[in-house]
Chain A
Amino acid sequence: MRNIMKFKLNQKQRNNIFIFLMLLWPVIHFIIFWVYINIDTIALTFQRFDVFSGEYVFYGLENYRSMIKNLQGYPSKTLQYALLNSFLFFPFNAVLLLPISIICAYILYKKVPGYAVFRIIFFLPSIISMVVLTMVFKFSFDSTIGFINPILRALGIEKIIPANGWFASVNTAFPMILLYCLWAGIGYNVVLVTGAMARVPIEIIESTRLDGIGFFRELWSMHLPLISSTLGTLFILSITSVFTVFLQPMLLTGGLPDDRTYTIPYLVNEQVKGGYLTTAATLGVSFSIVGVPFVMGIRYLIAKYMPTYEY
């Protein structure tokens, strides 16, 4: 009996074991799927695949040299376009998509006439598969089966229809991707913003109304500050899209014209699909080196200027 008592754990030990067990699984997961994968990816950037031995062998900085050549536009400007397009998604999301989403969300929140219909219109693209959605979007602008071009012809403005179509002309291809992202992206933001607006205490709203605040003044001076933490989150998410947008250009333009609508994630995806893992890893790691400080900086600014209000 005394021996058994010897092994009895005290409360602190029991707590430690409990914490250890609780953390064990996520830590293992983190080590395998984050630490190992990232270290392996970085290692890949210094290697090449040897077709004889079937092994990855040391290749020095050649992958980086090759990437820098690509950045200089050799043999094509694809990487330059991809870099520019990827970073364009940040101002697009921050300056265009987010403000429009806020306005739409506010309209729904204020229950203007027809708001239920608008809610469906805004939200429908968010629940349909992107493959289907891009197909519908693309077919709408098709030269033979689309309905947009006949409307433009009927309005007498057929001159604006590009000769190579909307998705392969220099002036329209990338804007079409942005238009699609706007159409399909509003719904998600609207749901989050209306949710945040609905949580604003009714007492505050009533007091501002007693002060005779107007429709837009209420949005600008009351709602936006009070939901700033949600907006901050959406802002951060809009930055991460710089690193994730690849399906939209892949399904809509396929990089056309002249590879001008590539994004970095799309390019990485293409490299992986083609089996060029070392090239993809080099691109991904380099892009992260540039992108991570950018994201961290924005996060810092958001935390500083968009504080969370308790109510």
Chain B
Amino acid sequence: MKKIIATMMCILMAVSALFMGCRRENYDPNLITIGFAEAGYGRKWLEDAIEDFQDIHPDVRFELEGDPLITHNIQNRLETNTEVRDIFFGLRFETHKWAAMGWLEQLDDLYETEIENGVTVSERLEDYMVGYGKYVTREGEHQYLLPWNSGASGIFYNAKMFREKGWEVPETYDELVALCDEIVADEVNDDANLNNDISPFSWGGTITSYWDFLVQTWWIQLIGTDAYREFMKFESPEVYNPTSPTMAALLEATEAFENLIVKKPQNSVPACASKDHISMQMDFINGRSAMVVCGAWLENEMRANIPEDFEMKLMPTPYLENARKDNNGEYIPVNYTVAGDYAIIPKAAKNKALAKEFLVFMLREEQLQKYLLTTGSPRPFEFTMPDISSLSSCTQGIINIINNSVNVCEITNNQLAIVGRANVWALGDIYRKLLTGTDPNYTAKTYFNEAYTFVKNEWDSWLVQAGMK
């Protein structure tokens, strides 16, 4: 009996070893494998691009792996060299480590490849994305990521409710404050029925960082993109000095938020601090709040739950009084893009050349237009706008905001930022502290002063952690 069991064990182990050895698939020079985050944008954009690519290259086959959570699995796959695809389309993540570990293919040659009519990838890339995914590693300074999506963020409003109530979309901060007062004073809020109450905003205590879409936009309205990029270099602890012009502007933007939301609880749906993004968005589409701060994905994310007659739109972020103006005396519109999704080619990919060819193909004018029409979101590359009348009014509005604004993406290749030490909010999410904190005397000013002291104390330690000292 023991002999039989022992023999079976040996066979089992041998078969296991055999299968482990056979896991590596045969190399097929005409196969491109793609893993992608199948989230709000679906998969049709990719299937369409593949179909068009195959019209030119009928011999090329594709294998797709759509997974909403693939972003969090990419690192393991790269590290263990298992299930590595030729291309990964992932959502915003700390990708520098992948490059530093030598897991990513350098894309410098891809950026210099001609797409069509003599235009290269780097020439087609939108200015605000220049430098994105360009990392310094032991391999030198190279491009490792290709931007995937762009977008917009800010205040979404219930357009139908605004029409019915006669509320105007505010253009300035003061008008926004006045609008909130008007909403609070609306007759539906006077009766005993709590179920028909309308508050100006709903938000979620677990995702207070969404307020960055508003506050950072206000900040960039005040300082401009050059100063914003300068700040993101984190050159010394003095960048956090609350009396420096850049930080003073951030404080001004934060205090505008503080005065609008923190100090006026009537401007929010009751007990928003206990809500998450789902209940926050439910309040918005159920008409319990007139506005919500979110990113361009909102409509796609809520599509299954949106009532038929519901109409939402993204408003251009109202201007603070001291926002910068152009030569004509007009305020300069700013869009905080929340871009950061990417395409990468792993170093261990089998068909790197073909993968690069496909990525370049996807940047053709016609492909960029198709992508926009399919997903409702543009890629951060320059192309002629197609007719967007077939898209929802919300998406049309978003595209107009992107086209008519100075777009900004939070890009920094500073090592202190890469190791997770330096960022805009040195002491963590300020909104969380202001909105859900337990100290009633804690203000934005307190945070800024504490943050400056903290950074000054920790700066040397940060430099050591980042390998800069």
Binding site for B on A (CB under 8 A): 14-15, 17-18, 21-22, 24-25, 48-54, 57, 59, 62, 66, 75-76, 135, 138-139, 141-145, 161-170, 253-254, 256-258, 260, 274-276
Contact = CB atoms under 8 A, between A and B. Distances in A.
Top 3 nearest A-B pairs (CB, nearest first) are A165-B274, A165-B271, A168-B273
Nearest to A162: B271
Contacts of B100: 49-54
B418 A51 contact: yes
Nearest to A54: B100
B279 A49 contact: no
A121 to B, nearest CB: 25
A50 to B, nearest CB: 5
Contacts of A21: 6, 9-10
14 contacts: A51-B415, A138-B274, A142-B279, A145-B282, A164-B271, A165-B271, A166-B271, A167-B274, A168-B271, A256-B274, A257-B437, A257-B438, A275-B94, A275-B97
A164 B288 contact: no
Contact of B2 (A14, A53, A165, A169): A14
A142 B274 contact: yes
A174 to B, nearest CB: 13
A258 B9 contact: no
A32 to B, nearest CB: 13
A140 B286 CA distance: 17
Q: Which size class do B's interface residues fall under?
A: 35 or more
A164 B467 contact: no
Interface of B: 2-3, 5-6, 9-10, 13, 94, 96-97, 99-102, 136-138, 205-206, 265, 269-276, 278-279, 282-283, 286, 288, 415, 418-420, 427-428, 432-433, 436-439, 450, 454, 461, 464-467
Given A76-B428, A258-B433, A168 B138 contact: no
A213 B6 CA distance: 56
Contact of A166 (B10, B97, B274, B464): B274
A163 B432 CA distance: 16
Contact of A76 (B270, B420, B427): B427
A228 to B, nearest CB: 37
Contacts of B420: 274-276
B422 to A, nearest CB: 13
Contacts of B96: 51
A49 B437 contact: no
Contacts of B13: 24-25
A141 B274 CA distance: 9
Contact of B271 (A17, A143, A276): A143
Contact of A52 (B279, B288, B450, B467): B467
B271 A49 contact: no
A48 B283 CA distance: 44
A135 B206 CA distance: 13
Give the one of B205, B419, B436, B438 with max A CB within 10 A. Answer: B436
B102 A257 contact: no
A49 B273 contact: no
Contact of B419 (A49, A139, A258): A49
A143 B433 contact: no
A145 B271 contact: no
Contacts of B206: 253-254, 256
A88 B176 CA distance: 45
B6 A18 contact: yes
Given A164-B271, A167-B205, A257-B437, A54 B97 contact: yes
B283 A144 contact: yes
A289 B450 CA distance: 33
Contacts of B454: 75
Contacts of A54: 97, 99-102, 137-138
